[in-house]
Amino acid sequence: MARRSHVTELGCIACDELAELGAGKEGWLVDSANVLSTLDTHSLALANRSVILILGWRYDDPSSRPVKIRPSLSPVEGEITAIEWLVFDDLHALAVGTSNGYLLIYSLESDLIHKQFIYPGRILRLRVHGTKSGLTQDTSSEEVCVVIPGIIARFDGSDIQSLLQRWFQEAHSQFWDQKPKKSETEGMRNSYGRLPLQLWNVNKYGSCVDAAITGIMPPPLMELQSSQRYYCAVTIGVDAVISACRLSEDRNRSIVGAILSKVVPATFSTIASFSKMIWRSGQTSATNSEEKPQPFAKASPLTCLKDRPRKGEKLTLSPSGTLAAITDSLGRILLLDTQALVVVRLWKGYRDACCLFTEMLINRDTTSKSTSAYHEHSKSDYCLCLAIHAPRKGIVEVWQMRNGPRLLAFQCAKGSKILQPTHRLNWHPIVLEQCPKPSTLPNAPQR
C-alpha cells in the first residue's frame, strides 16, 4: 500500500534577486537572523537589513515578477528589523519596522505610503490580528500591533484601512491624469499626518522579546464605566517566561486617577506660572526637531511566570486569540489559555521549535466515504490544531487542541521554515524548503 501523503506541492521560487539575501548557501533561510519573511495568499516577502524582495510563488501565474524595495533609511531611522503584510479586502500593502522605532508602509509597486515614528527602540515584531471580547464575544476589532522591548503600540485596523483607501484612490486618479513627480508623492504621503495609536509600557516584569494583544477584556472593579476598551496583553521575555497586563485606552481611568487628572493640572499650572514670573529668563529654549513619542497609556500587571533559567522565545496566537503557544529556551512548548491566564498543556523536547495554529478535518476518512465528492464541509467539520515544526527532528507535527492526540507527522528537509498567511486569510501553514536547484516552496498540510 502506498504511503499516504499529507502535503501538497504549491510552487517554486527561483530568481537572481534571491542571491542578494544569501540564497545558495546552506541554511540561508533559517540560520541568518537578518533574513525576515512574511507570507500573503500568493506572495512571499523576504528582507534583510536594507532590501525587501516580494515574490509570487504561484508557478501557474506568468505575470508574477519579483519586486524589490530598497527603503531610503537614514541613520536616525535605522535598518529593517520586522516586516508584515497588511491585507484589507482587496488592499494589499507591506508594513516595515526599523531598529530605531519607525513604521513604514509600502505598496506592492515599492511606493512609500506612510512613515511614522513610534518609540525609540528596535521593533521586534509586527502583528496583524483581530480581537474579540472574552465574555460576550459581541465586541471585536482589527488591529496592528508593534512590539518593541518593553513597549506595545496598537493601531486600529480601520485607521490603516482608511489610510490605504485614500492613498490608492489618489494614486489611481493621478495615474490617469499624469504620472506624479517624486515631490508630489512625498506631499501626498505627508498630507495624511500621523495615524492615531495607543502606547503602553509593559516592562513591569522585565523587557519582553515578544508580545501580543490577545483580546478585549472587561474593566476592573472600581473603574469608571465608559466606552473605553480594555485589552489583555501577553508578553514573554528573559526575566519572566510569561506575563500578562491589562491595557487601558485612557491614561486616567481609575476614580483616583480621575480626581488627580482634575486637581494636578490646575495646581501644576499655577506653580508653573508663578515660577515663570520669578525665574523668567531672556533666553528662549532651542526647538527640538527630533520626534518625540506620545505618553504611555495605563498598563496594569495581572500575573507572571518566573522559572529561571527558562526564557521565553516565541509567541503564537490562535485565530480567536483564546490560546497562545509559547516556546522557551529549554525546548518546551507551553499552551496558554489567554482568558484564564493558565497553562493548559506542555510539550517537551522541541528545541528551536516554531508553532502555528491551523485547522484539520475531523475523521476525514469517515467523512469522505459517507459524502459525495461535491459535498462542502462546514465549520463544524474542522478542529483547531497546533502545527509544531521541530527543525532538529526534521518533522512537522499536528496536534488537536486543546488536549487531543497527535493527528499526523511528516518529514521536512533541513533548512525548512514554516509560515502562515497573515490575518484575515486562510490559516494553513506552509513549509518553505531550501533546495539546491532551485530554491523551492513546496508542501502545505492539506485541509
Phi, psi of 273 (to 5 degrees): -65, -40
> What percentage of the chain reaches a pLDDT higher than 90?
41
- The Cβ of residue 425 has, within 10 Å, a number of other Cβ atoms equal to 14
Strands in 333-337's sheet, in edge-to-edge order, are 312-317, 323-328, 333-337, 342-347
Please name the residues in contact with 412: beta carbons below 8 A apart, sequence gap of 6 or more.
389, 394, 395, 396, 431, 433, 443
Distance, C-alpha 328 to centroid of its chain: 19
**When comparing pLDDT for 114 and 309, which is higher?**
114
Region 317-334: what's the mean pLDDT?
92
pLDDT band at 70 (very low <50, low <70, confident <90, very high): very high
Whether the pLDDT of residue 4 is over 60: the answer is: no
Instruction: Considering only residues 74 and 229, tell me which one the structure prediction assigns the higher pLDDT.
Output: 74
Query: Residue 425 pLDDT more than 50?
Result: no
Q: What is the pLDDT of residue 19?
A: 84
DSSP 50: S
The residue among 184 and 211 whose pLDDT is bigger is 211
Residue 53: the pLDDT is 92
In this predicted model, what pLDDT tens digit does every residue of 91-147 receive, in sequence order? 889 999 999 999 999 998 899 999 999 999 999 999 998 755 544 444 556 889 999
pLDDT at 61: 58
**What CA–CA distance (Å, rounded) separates 237 from 235?**
7
Residue 386 has pLDDT above 80, yes or no: yes
Q: What percent of the chain has pLDDT over 70?
A: 70
pLDDT tens digits, 268-285:
444 445 444 444 444 333
| Residue 193 pLDDT > 70 | yes
C-alpha cell read off for 333: 512548548
Output the nine-digit C-alpha cell for 80: 529593517
Could you tell me if 321 and 215 are in contact, meaning their C-beta atoms sit under 8 angstroms apart?
yes
> pLDDT band at residue 22, thresholds of 50, 70 and 90?
confident
Cβ neighbours for 157, distance < 8 A, ≥ 6 positions apart: 88, 128, 130, 141, 142, 143, 144
What's the confidence (pLDDT) of residue 412? 86
Instruction: Give alpha helix (H) positions in 213-336.
Output: 255-278
pLDDT value at position 431?
Answer: 64
Question: What mean pLDDT is reported for the chain?
Answer: 78
Burial class (CB in 10 A: 0-12, 13-18, 19+), 45: buried
At 290, the pLDDT band (50, 70, 90 cuts) reads low
Q: What is the pTM of this model?
A: 0.79
Query: Is pLDDT above 90 for 333?
Result: yes
pLDDT: is 330 or 134 the higher one? 330
Reported as type and span, the H/E element at residue 247 is strand 242-248
Higher pLDDT, 64 or 244: 244
Q: CB-based burial of residue 23 (10 Å sphere; 0-12 exposed, 13-18 middle, 19+ buried)?
A: buried
Poorest-pLDDT segment among 78-87, 156-165, 246-255, 291-300: 246-255
| Of 78, 77, 10, 70, residue with least CA distance to 44 | 10
The DSSP 8-state label assigned to residue 202 in this structure reads -
**Least confidently predicted of 186-195, 252-261, 292-301:** 252-261
Least confident stretch, 112-121, 151-160, 230-239, 378-387? 378-387
Checking if the pLDDT of 215 tops 70, the result is yes
| 319-343 average pLDDT score | 93
Q: What would the mean pLDDT of 253-263 be, rounded to a whole number?
A: 43
